[in-house]
Amino acid sequence: MVTGITAREAQPKLRRLEENIELVIKGKNDVVRKAIIGLLAGGHVLFEDVPGVGKTTLADCLARSINLSFQRIQGTSDLMPSDIIGVTMFDSNKHAFVFRNGPLFANVVLVDEINRTTPKTQSALLEAMNTAQVSVERTTYELPRPFMVIATQNPIDSHGTFPLPKSQLDRFTLRLHLGYPEEDFEREILRHRRDPGDLSMIQPVLSAEEVCAMQEGVRQVKIEESLLNFIVQLVAGTRKSPLIEIGCSTRGALALRNCAQAHAYMEGRDFCIPDDIKLIAVPVLAHRLGIARTFDESTENMGEGTQAVLTLLQETAVPI
């Protein structure tokens, strides 16, 4: 049984993790922190943004900063489920069929341009993301712990893409946007003559055992009944609004609770406050909503989901 690390013990280690990633990712502290929150909450993260702003690099830096196994899968239209899960092959030496693991059997799996894979391949990720296991030919295989899927997609490029269905989006704990860097940080990036793909300055600062212990520590963070009621009211608001065709799922409510606990944990507290929920609500809830007027996966709809959550935060009474 894993023994949890207290928030106070974990805080300096998590700060080192942030600083390590920020050696490469400049001026995006808020996004880096939220990505780490996704890891601490035991969830999965979707980076959605225009090309070339560092989505893949941030995911790679997070994986390299922890002594975990890492696999990268490039999304293409001809990628098959067996290409990521693995296949059963006949071993002539053993005179038996043997399962050969695919790249999904890693602690951190980066699926680059996930919306370029077909729905059949996208669905192969559902069981893994939900239960950290995969089933092949009536046999279930456990995935390594901790297990995290980090996916990227470009929302403005529709040619040759397959928009993620709501069932797939709902498996992502957080949806994050990097955005363009501010001019000062972009100037700093230009000063460094780093070869493309060179992340040699990123060294592991945490072990797999420490991450598992921190995830257990997050589960021990106290969250009062009044705050649970606040989450319930926010989620119920998404289901009652006439502008929202599909409201937040119970999985979304659980993700919001888990991420609020992880946010408090990163702040060095063993208890939650309302701000832990408010500061993480948009990246946890917005991508789960189906806006009634457009109800598609356009960037316009994504913005409306964000605005809907912000409106609910203003309208919902905060516990005192």
Residue extents of the structural domains in the chain: 1-215, 221-320
The whole-chain average pLDDT of the chain stands at: 87
Q: Is the pLDDT of residue 302 over 60?
A: no
Residue predicted with more confidence, 90 or 238: 238
Phi, psi values for residue 7, rounded to 5°: -60, -40
User: Rounded to whole angstroms, what are the CA distances from 118 to 45, 156, 183, 214, 254?
Assistant: 19, 18, 37, 35, 28
Q: What is the pLDDT of residues 74-118, one digit of tens each?
A: 998 899 988 999 888 877 787 788 888 899 999 999 998 898 888
Cα-to-chain-centroid distance, residue 270: 23
pLDDT cut 70: percent of the chain above it: 92
Q: CB neighbours (10 Å) of residue 185?
A: 14
Give the residue from 200, 183, 196, 206 showing the smallest Cα distance to 26: 183
The hierarchical CATH code for the domain 1-215 is 3.40.50.300
Q: For the domain 221-320, what is the CATH superfamily, name and number?
A: Magnesium chelatase subunit I, C-Terminal domain (1.10.8.80)
Q: CB neighbours (10 Å) of residue 282?
A: 19
As a whole number of angstroms, the distance between CA 169 and CA 73 comes to 18
As a whole number of angstroms, the distance between CA 100 and CA 232 comes to 43
Mean pLDDT of 18-37: 91
Q: What is the pLDDT of residues 261-282, one digit of tens each?
A: 999 999 999 999 999 999 999 9
Give the residue from 284, 282, 294, 275 showing the smallest Cα distance to 252: 284
Concatenating the DSSP letter of every residue in the chain gives -PPPPPHHHHHHHHHHHHHHHTTTSTT-HHHHHHHHHHHHTT--EEEE--TTSSHHHHHHHHHHTEE--EEEEE--TT--HHHHHEEEEEETTTTEEEEEE-TTSSSEEEEETGGGS-HHHHHHHHHHHHHSEEEETTEEEEPPSS-EEEEEE-TT--TT--PPPHHHHTT-SEEE---PPPHHHHHHHHHS-PPTT--TT----EEHHHHHHHHHHHHTSB--HHHHHHHHHHHHHHHH-TTEEE---HHHHHHHHHHHHHHHHHTT-SB--HHHHHTTHHHHHGGG-EETTT-SSSHHHHHHHHHHHHHHHHHSPPP-
Q: What is the pLDDT of residues 67-84, one digit of tens each?
A: 888 899 999 889 998 899
Cα-to-chain-centroid distance, residue 47: 8
Could you tell me the pTM of the whole model? Answer: 0.89
Q: Is the pLDDT of residue 316 over 50?
A: yes
